[in-house]
Amino acid sequence: MEQGKINVTTENIFPIIKKFLYSDHEIFLRELVSNAVDATQKLKTLVSLGKANTELGDITIEIIANKELKTLTVRDKGIGMTGEEVQKYINQIAFSSAEEFLEKYKGGDSANIIGHFGLGFYSAFMVASKVEIYTRSYLSDAVAVKWSCTGSPDYSMETCDKDTRGTEIVLYMADDTLEFLEDNRLVSLLKKYCRFLPVPIQCGMEKHYEKGEGEEKEKAVDRPRIINNTHPLWKESPATLTEEQYRDFYRELYPTTFEQPLFHIHLNVDYPFNLSGILYFPKVKNRLEIEKNRVQLYSNQVFITDQLEGVIPEFMMLLHGVLDSPDIPLNVSRSYLQSDTNVKKISAHITKKVADKLEDMFKNDRADFEKKWDDLKVFVQYGMITDEKFNDRAKIFYLFKNIENKYFTFEEYRSKIEPLQKDKDGNLIYLYTTHTADQSLYIKSATEKGYDTLLMDGFLDTHFINRLESTWEKCRFTRVDADVIDKLISKDEILPAKLSETETSKLKGFFDKVIDASRCTVMVEPLSETDLPVLITRDEFSRRFQDMNAWAGNNDFSHFDHYNLIVNGNHPLYGKLLTATDEQQQETLTRQLVDLALLSRNMLQGDQLNEFVQRSVDLLK
């Protein structure tokens, strides 16, 4: 038996590995299984090249939990190691500077250090009090070796009886990590980290029901439980795949998601970096349905992370799917990913491919693109708001939708409204509604003037409008109920007032007496005789600011809960009101007019609504 010390320059390297190697100890399983896959893949390569005097045979990697012995075993049938290779790859940990390592990580820096120091195997010591390796090289004259270490720099190594090639790593689990021996926990971790590895991985057995004989309709048979799909769809050529296969793979990725995606993008790049993957576009409608951690990042089919904030553009977090690149280091922290040059190039490429796909859909089949637009709109808006390069591309295919459910590009809509919807200062006015039913009176008034109204009832529309106004010249977006129609798009012509200044002041006084002055401002305007006698409007800026605060989660809008009561001084009704001698009758009619205006905006509730109903009955009497 050989005994010695692992080649590190400090005695306390193992406590540091155990405490600070990864922020989450469960990652040890990924490291050990990934090493087993690497060993198997190396053997497959040697066999395919005729450089290994052995049959490949069954190469399934086995994960075996033994609760009685408190052991977890990872067993492969790969290339194995000789004693010399154990010395080289296990006993000699090469640090660029042990002192630098200790200084950087002893204080508790949670950054993942594996990729910098090659410590994948040693992640086992985060969960095990002792680790044993049983290994035999594929070479015909190889001697099997057993290596053992208890988590200190001291190890032992000796020959052992092992008839088959490959490596078996046995972890004697620490008392505080016995959870990893539980079947459900073990299988869930394997499915998380290893579900698409290219070598079959078995963990225990599972019941399989097959057709029986005679009266026995079916019988249960125990079969090896294979965890992974060794041929994930993103590794295939897009030309060979059907839409049904893409849908099936989506269900495999997200078994609890029942709604089908709109479409997908299959990425397959080999220059100037390697990247493959499939991105799916889910339906995203009136709320920002960001299901974060839905895009999974892999390196050679080994799961890295689904925490991709800052790694891919923010709006891409709305997508679902898989990205796989061997150019991304396996063992890295998210902060490392965010600064990695290859990752930045890949991120930019993905943005370009998404924009290419959307533009091609728009140009090749606009009718189909319009059918999908309501589900795509939030995604495109989010991208335009947060990513300048995507914004430049999306200007071509972004669509406005009006209340007639017709779709227009930016340029098409500008051409449509330019003849009529310019104000006296030359500003182009984009009228919009956020709720066609609630704002129907105002939409009707705009339509009668020949104006067009956009439907902007989406979650991000207020933010998007602000962006457009900040980048477009001489334009303004105004909600159709922000003011009376003659003021929304002010022209040179002004309707003459039929009331004298004295009558206007008297009329305003009637309304001032019955409204809550803290919430409402009364204004008498000379509108058309066919317009309503009283309208309620809200200031565009204040209302938009209120909407943006609501989006940010701030619901205290008491200081914005203000509206304007526009009294149409040219309406024939006011001649009767001004000449009436019964003050009670004047007040009753005035209150009725105010309540009718409030009712039209769904602002009449509770006692006010009850009083209005009773007053209406009395007036009918």
Calpha distance 376→282 (Å, rounded): 8
Query: What average pLDDT does the segment 115-127 reach?
Result: 71
CA distance 341 to 533: 65
What percentage of the chain has pLDDT greater than the value 70?
86
User: 267 near 276, Cβ under 8 Å?
Assistant: yes
The one-letter amino acid at 53: N
Of the options 3.30.830.10, 3.40.140.10, 1.20.120.790, 3.40.50.720, the CATH number for the domain spanning 501-537+554-620: 1.20.120.790
Place of tokens 């990872």: 74
Q: Look at residue 580 in the predicted model and tell me its pLDDT.
A: 80
What's the sign of the alpha-carbon dihedral 221, 227, 230, 234? positive
Cβ atoms 123, 38 nearer than 8 A: no
pTM, full prediction: 0.79
Residue ranges of the chain that CATH labels 3.40.50.11260? 399-488
User: 27-63: per-residue pLDDT in tens?
Assistant: 899 989 998 998 999 999 899 889 888 899 999 999 9
Mean pLDDT of the region 341-367: 92
Residue indicated by tokens 């019955």:
514
94 vs 321, more confident? 321
Q: Does residue 381 or residue 108 have the better pLDDT?
A: 381
Q: Where along the chain do the CATH 3.30.565.10 domains lie? A: 2-204
Q: What is the pLDDT of residue 259?
A: 84
pLDDT tier at 213 (50, 70, 90 boundaries)? low
* Token representation of residue 354: 């998404």
Lowest-pLDDT range of 86-100, 217-231, 381-395, 536-550: 86-100
- Give pLDDT, residue 89: 82
CB 349 within 8 A of CB 265: no
Residue type for position 162: K
pLDDT 10s digits, 445-461: 899 999 999 999 988 89
Q: Would you state the structure tokens that stand for residue 427, as one six-digit string? A: 């500003």
Q: Are 235 and 323 in contact, with CB atoms under 8 Å apart?
A: no
Asked: is 399-488 a CATH 3.40.50.11260 domain? The reply is yes
Residue 125: name the closest of 3, 34, 8, 31 by CA: 31
Given pLDDT bands bounded at 50, 70 and 90, which one contains residue 242? very high
The string of DSSP codes covering 215-275 is T--EEEEEEEEE---SS-GGGS-GGG--HHHHHHHHHHH-TT--SPPSEEEEEEE-SSS-E
347, 336 in Cβ contact below 8 A? no
Which run of H or E residues covers position 322?
A: strand 320-324
Three-class SS state of 211: strand
Comparison of pLDDT for 555 and 531, the residue scoring more: 531
Phi first, then psi, for residue 58 (nearest 5°) are: -75, 120
C-alpha distance from residue 377 to each of 164, 390, 433 (Å): 59, 14, 16
Distance CA 570, CA 23 (A): 73
User: 233-364 has which fold?
Assistant: Ribosomal Protein S5; domain 2 (3.30.230)
Q: Is 320 helix (H, G, I), strand (E, B) or coil?
A: strand
Domain with CATH 3.30.230.80 in the chain: 233-364
Residue pair 3/90 in contact by the 8 Å Cβ criterion? no
Domain topology for 2-204:
Heat Shock Protein 90 (3.30.565)
Question: How much is the pLDDT for 340?
Answer: 75
